[in-house]
Amino acid sequence: MASIKQPQPPDSIFADAIKRLDNAAKHVDLDHEVVERLKHPKAVIQVSIPVRMDDGSLKVFSGYRVRHDNSRGPTKGGIRYHPDVSLDEVKALALWMTCKCAVVGVPFGGAKGGIVVNPKELSPMELERLSRGFIGLIADFIGPDKDIPAPDVYTNAMIMGWMMNEYSKIRREHCPAVITGKPLSLGGSLGREGATGRGAYYCIKELEKRRDWKPEQVRVAVQGFGNAGQSIAALLHRDGYRIVAISDSRGGVYRSDGFDVPSLIKIKNETRYLKAVYCECSVCEAVKAEIITNEQLLELDVDLLIPAALENQITAQNVSQIKARVIVEVANGPVTSEADAILSQQETLVVPDILANAGGVTVSYFEWVQNRQGYYWSVEKVHERLHKIMSREFNTIFKIMQQKQIDMRTAAYAHAMTRLGSAVAAHGTQSFFSNHNR
């Protein structure tokens, strides 16, 4: 079975993320202290989580939490469960979250967390013990006004509910605002599930206007069929886009005529397997499709490629094989900086992760606000406010890209760094203090 691999770039993921800051800084009038501050996480914690397994044995898991920057507000970011989690990766993800929050203008800084584990190997009770144990160890590191976790790769609403409950037990008070992405019955927000994919969808709809796309003529490939991948595939399918390829961690399927996405979602969620099917009510029948690997999906001749899995999927090694004219990054960091430069030369438009997948953190912000107010919004209101923010920021960044004649990722970072620079400068920089000390 094929898996979604994580090729290792020459530098660490965090070092690669820093390169993008340096590149964007050339296009923004910023005090050098802003960039220097963003190169260093504010705080890092590493913990060992002992878990009593169902067979009576004890296993110890490594966990991390990084608070990157709180210049614009408390830090915010997901917790992922994955066997390849590392401190370097978590630092990079936290940096991207800082930029992402600044891009959409929500008053948060960036954070991220992760546990080195394959959650598919744990029973539900072992998973609960692990989740509660992690919160028990980092409880002093997080809080509604300090650092607010959320779901990420292989974590979900139920896990967030366990974590919120554990934190509340430690604090001896109900604290729904400490975690977002919770079940609705525990203070979650309508519209939070699928918000990452929906935010990317709103970006694509703006691009559709600019490129005068006719949806039925646009061929789409989606790598990764988790929450975000399913959400954006379903929304695009509803609008008539031709979803010709989809993959999960085991591999993918390709069909030039396209798939009935609701049928794929139904089978995937019921069986955990991705199968080429068409379902009518409860009856599902197989359809002819080509079995492909995740690597082959990336290299398909499509109009729109959506990496929605893990980072480092498009690298210097395979970028020359990428044929898509537009890439929308629903995953975090799926394209390395080396590959970015080549895609730019090829005039491939990349809608960057810090914009394209910011719908998740935006609706997480909505959830946090609702928890603090004790007043909850309708799903229509959530979608309306998300649409407004994503469309506004997409068009702002697109305009910066055109005015400065730079790629869209650099434009997005420049936009984020302008907002971050204002927050840092408000506390005073060298230019301020040196002028006032004369």
Residues with a known catalytic role: 112
CA angle 376, 380, 383 (to 5 degrees): 95
Q: Is 91:64 a contact under the CB 8 Å cutoff?
A: no
- The alpha carbon of residue 116 and the mean position of all alpha carbons in its chain are separated, in whole angstroms, by 18
Q: How many CB atoms are located within 10 Å of the residue 319 CB?
A: 20
Q: Is 365:192 a contact under the CB 8 Å cutoff?
A: no
Q: Is residue 291 within a helix (H) or strand (E), and if so which, with residue range?
A: strand 290-292
Q: Is 156:188 a contact under the CB 8 Å cutoff?
A: no
Which residue in the block uniquely carries the two structure tokens 């899995």? 309
Sign of CA dihedral 266, 197, 154, 84: positive
Q: Is 120:107 a contact under the CB 8 Å cutoff?
A: no
- Name residues whose C-beta falls within 8 Å of residue 245's C-beta, 6 or more positions apart in sequence: 220, 221, 222, 252, 253, 254, 255, 292, 297, 300, 302
Task: Dig out the tokens for 397 from the structure.
Answer: 């960044």
Residues 20, 416: Cα–Cα separation, whole Å: 12
What is residue 212's three-state secondary structure? coil
